[in-house]
Structure 1
Amino acid sequence: MTDFGPVFYIFGHILLALGAAMLLPAGYDMLLSDANGLQVLKAAIETLLFGALLSLAARPDEPRPLTLRQAYMLTAAIWLFLPAFGALPFIHGKPDVSFADAYFEAVSGVTTTGYTVFQHLDELPRSVIIWRAMLQWAGGLGIAFVAMIFLPVMRIGGMRFFQTEGFDTFGKVLPRATDIAVALLQVYTIVTIACAVSYIACGMAPFDAICNAMATLSTGGFATTDSSFAQYSPAAQYAGVLFMLLAGMPFIRFVQVMQGQITPIWRDSQIRAFLRWFLYYTAVATIWRYTHEELPFEQVLRETAFNFSSILTGTGFGVSGVEPWGGFVMVLVFLVGMSGGCTGSSSGSLSVFRVQVVLSAIYTAIRQLHSPNRVVVPRYDGKPLDEATMGPLILHVTGYILTQGIVAVLISMTGVDFSSALFASWGAIGNIGFGVGPTVAPTGTMIDYNDLSTWLMSLSMLLGRLGLLAILVLVLPRFWRD
């Protein structure tokens, strides 16, 4: 029989950390003499009490390492139930929304998706803006931990390949998971600070710069105003492009850079493909727009580069809508969003690694058809891919595409037009957060989606962030058999 105690014990400690984090936005509002601070404090106390009781009740007699089944359960529990507590400040205080909308906002934050149901951000208490940014920043760091430490152990979505000796992984950089976590936290914090300083240097107000930097490095995209990045200077927008692209790269490479190892970041085939695809997509879309729109070239280039870097990394910031750019560009936008950033970053979607492996498998199949008697093995970065890696990866990609189609149909069945439903599914499962479609256009938010479609998108964001299998495996009877 499965022992839930260690899972409850660790989850209780995570709730304690979450409740303690709520004290920061609560205190900020109190300093501003905003009554909303007391409501956020109430949410913090509730979270702290529940976390303390859960930890005490499940405290083990002696510490034991988690089993694989417990690791699955803990990972799923964190992403499923943590947003329920992260939503409490939105329920007790402003904007005083329903549980469905509050949970959606919190899920969008911790999964770093960036979809929002909040309007008139300039009128909301500062604690709301801070808490949204903190949820995303913590979520982005947590995603990096899961992707680089837990998923390879669980063998999810081809991540086992990152444990093989042939790949330059953490095993060659840092010896233990604790050291990995500390190094990632250091890099994540340093780059976030650098991003905030750059934004301030480009004319952004310090409060906006800090919150936007947290949303940038987490590839979250919760903006501080309804206009997102459109109101900021061109210099700030170019800085946003730079740091969004950095956030879409494997954080382990920055750890190596801090250790004085510059070569791995240039030799990483993921990073090369990631940057190459960004340049290709941006160049094609820029040329198309410049020949079809009467706008200055610099503006076209800047807007295209910003929106495409935001969509590719799954950040969700924007400087303009993409629908007016035409159907051809919309197809590129869809493909860019499906690609995603690098594995080991906070980006979502399929990821560059998985797309590269799928393309390698397709190329191998074509060569096999051409030369049936020839033994051709799929390769990644010149190294052979075994069945133990290819099986889960192909299953993940297939499930990802099928789930996206099924969710789009389900959302459309709730009364949403199919174009909006398709892009809602695309943005939720890919954790892209870039709103597209007639339902989004009037407000720039997801507020006009009904509650049922909101719940579907919340589930989709969780499924997309956990790689589908980490949640779906929990509903299999075989998983619970001893």
Structure 2
Amino acid sequence: MLRFIRPVIYVCGFLVLILAGMMLAVGVFAWSRRDPETQVFLICAAIAAVSGAVMVLSCRRAQFNLIARQLYLLTSLSWVIMSLVGALPLIFSHSNLSLTDALFEAVSGITTTGSTVLSGLEHRPASLLLWRSLLQWLGGLGVIGMAVSILPFLRVGGMRLFHTESSDWSDKSVPRLQSLARLLLGTYFGISVACILSYWAAGMSLFDAINHAMTTVSTGGYATDDRSMGRFSHGILWIASLFMLLGALPFTMIITFLRRPAMDTLKNQQAIGLVFIIGTVSLMLTGVLIYQHQYEPFEALTHATFNLVSVITTTGYASTDYLGWGAFSVALFFLVMFIGGCSGSTSGGMKVFRFQLSYLFLRTQIRKLVHPSGVFITQYNGRRVQDEIIQSAVAFSFLFFLALAVITLLLALLGLDLLTSVSASATALTNVGPGVGEIIGPAGNFATLPAAAKWLLCFAMLLGRLELLTLMVLFTPIFWRG
């Protein structure tokens, strides 16, 4: 067993060292501003650095290759360890957060969910706000790397569909993987810088621009004020909508377009489907708001588009309390949170491609009912979809809704009302952030939930972020028997 787990601990050690470096950077930032949390971040950076160094040095080997079982364990364990280490500054801060609340905030950050137990954000130390944003930015990068490089190889939830040349593990070519990693990091960093400059030019302070850019591109949704994005101009809301959408698009498609700017590189069924859904539903929601005399036409279009993009990309920002838009709008927001963005993006949710595959599968079944002897080939992005991909997508969908039902029942058992139980479990599994209802809606937070409910939602956030099957396989006896 030790031989099996050593390479996993070795890699996780480097992740802890990365977090230590980030804590040190925030500590220096805090020192420059005479922030009260300076000592906290420096001490936590030292703890993380020592822990990471011990993990790396004790498990170092000359060379090793990770097999599928080790990759499952690495994928799950790395997110758990990053959540635990990321919670350290929150635990020891002067905000007097309990262990449960600190861990909830860290898990929500690293999984780019955006649910929070904090209030009065505008009065919190700048270092803590920056740390929350950094956790989401790092989490968004980790999501892309996992979705592009690891999940297709593990054949999780239909991700095998994206086992393309840009994420090909078949030859386990280290140089190619390193090149892909550099391209992903460069693209992610470049979009983040562009977002910072856009926000700053539109009127945000530099500090707000940096924080909101990191949580926009990562589709995380942490803000620096309890009003979320509601205190900014319409121009900033449109900029945010654009960069949230970019964060929800396949990064391999963006990389391909940047290297070869041509319209045919944008012919991605996922991306086209996401843009079509956003455009159609935004116009429909705008019409409803105008009909209800909620806003003037342009203001209605701005708020409808921004909040819809925020929910469907699982960012979780809010420009206003959209629960006041009526039952139809609330139901619409609740339903679209399940969709999510594209595979290989920073967003959560069930992903657009699974809904598209479900439609194609249903269409094929209907054709077979009409023509029992017919032979029908299902194609996606111009390629034939293998039966194993359909089976994996169906298994993922079944497990998703089973987990949704179980978590909802457990939350209800802990004393939460039905609406809060359903929306909390849904927003955790889809990594959206705010739920529905007065307690955890866009105008509330998760602070008043029982401690047991917060621990359960931490598990649900990790479960959703890891595409369910990656984490659930660790609870099967056959995994540990090999």
- Is TM-score (shorter-chain normalized) higher than 0.5? yes
Aligned-pair distance for 1:308?
0.2
Amino acid in structure 1 at the alignment position of 2:210: I
Amino acid in structure 1 at the alignment position of 2:439: T
Structure 2: distance between partners of 1:372 and 1:322: 48
Q: Residues 236-270 of structure 1, C-alpha deviation per residue, up to 9 Å, x if partnerless?
A: 01111111111110111221122124234421111
Residues 1:29 and 2:21 are matched in the alignment: no
Tell me the equivalent position of 1:78: 78
Aligned-pair distance for 1:202?
0.9
Residues 1:479 and 2:479 are matched in the alignment: yes
Structure 2: distance between partners of 1:405 and 1:256: 39
Tell me the equivalent position of 1:156: 156
Structure 2: distance between partners of 1:116 and 1:454: 10
Residues 1:311 and 2:311 are matched in the alignment: yes
Aligned-pair distance for 1:332?
1.5
Aligned-pair distance for 1:171?
5.1
Tell me the equivalent position of 1:302: 302
Tell me the equivalent position of 2:458: 458
Task: Verify the 8 A CA contact 1:340 1:350 in the aligned structure 2.
Answer: yes
Tell me the equivalent position of 1:116: 116
Residues 1:284 and 2:276 are matched in the alignment: no
Residues 1:268 and 2:244 are matched in the alignment: no
State how 1:412-427 maps to structure 2 within 5 Å.
Answer: 412-427=412-427
Aligned-pair distance for 1:386?
1.2
Amino acid in structure 1 at the alignment position of 2:319: V
Matched residue of 2:337: which SS? helix
Change (3 A) 1:454 1:371: same
More off after superposition, 193-202 vs 290-299: 290-299
Structure 2: distance between partners of 1:452 and 1:265: 47
Matched residue of 1:176: which SS? helix
Task: Verify the 8 A CA contact 1:253 1:264 in the aligned structure 2.
Answer: no
For structure 1, list consecutive stretches of 5 or more residues without a partner in the other structure.
none
Structure 1: distance between partners of 2:443 and 2:233: 23
Tell me the equivalent position of 2:367: 367
TM-score by length of 1: 0.96
Amino acid in structure 1 at the alignment position of 2:38: G
Structure 1 stretches of 4+ with a deviation exceeding 3 A read 168-172
Q: Residues 135-182 of structure 1, C-alpha deviation per residue, up to 9 Å, x if partnerless?
A: 000100010000000001111011112125xxx74459x971111110
Change (3 A) 1:156 1:171: closer
Tell me the equivalent position of 2:46: 45
Change (3 A) 1:45 1:65: same
Matched residue of 1:3: which SS? helix
Tell me the equivalent position of 1:220: 220
Task: Verify the 8 A CA contact 1:115 1:445 in the aligned structure 2.
Answer: yes
Q: Residues 359-414 of structure 1, C-alpha deviation per residue, up to 9 Å, x if partnerless?
A: 11111112212222222233323432112211111101111122112212211221
Structure 1: distance between partners of 2:443 and 2:97: 17
More off after superposition, 270-279 vs 436-445: 436-445
Change (3 A) 1:442 1:178: closer
Aligned-pair distance for 1:35?
2.5
Matched residue of 1:338: which SS? coil
Task: Verify the 8 A CA contact 1:435 1:446 in the aligned structure 2.
Answer: no
Tell me the equivalent position of 2:201: 201
Tell me the equivalent position of 2:142: 142
Q: How many residues align?
A: 477
Structure 2: distance between partners of 1:87 and 1:294: 41
Amino acid in structure 1 at the alignment position of 2:21: A
Task: Verify the 8 A CA contact 2:420 2:440 in the aligned structure 1.
Answer: yes
Aligned-pair distance for 1:47?
0.9
Matched residue of 1:4: which SS? helix
TM-score by length of 2: 0.96
CA RMSD of aligned residues (A): 1.7
Identity of matched residues, %: 35
Structure 1: distance between partners of 2:432 and 2:235: 24
Structure 1: distance between partners of 2:321 and 2:262: 37
Structure 2: distance between partners of 1:344 and 1:11: 22
Structure 2: distance between partners of 1:376 and 1:199: 49
Structure 2: distance between partners of 1:381 and 1:251: 16
Matched residue of 2:321: which SS? coil
Structure 1: distance between partners of 2:362 and 2:331: 22
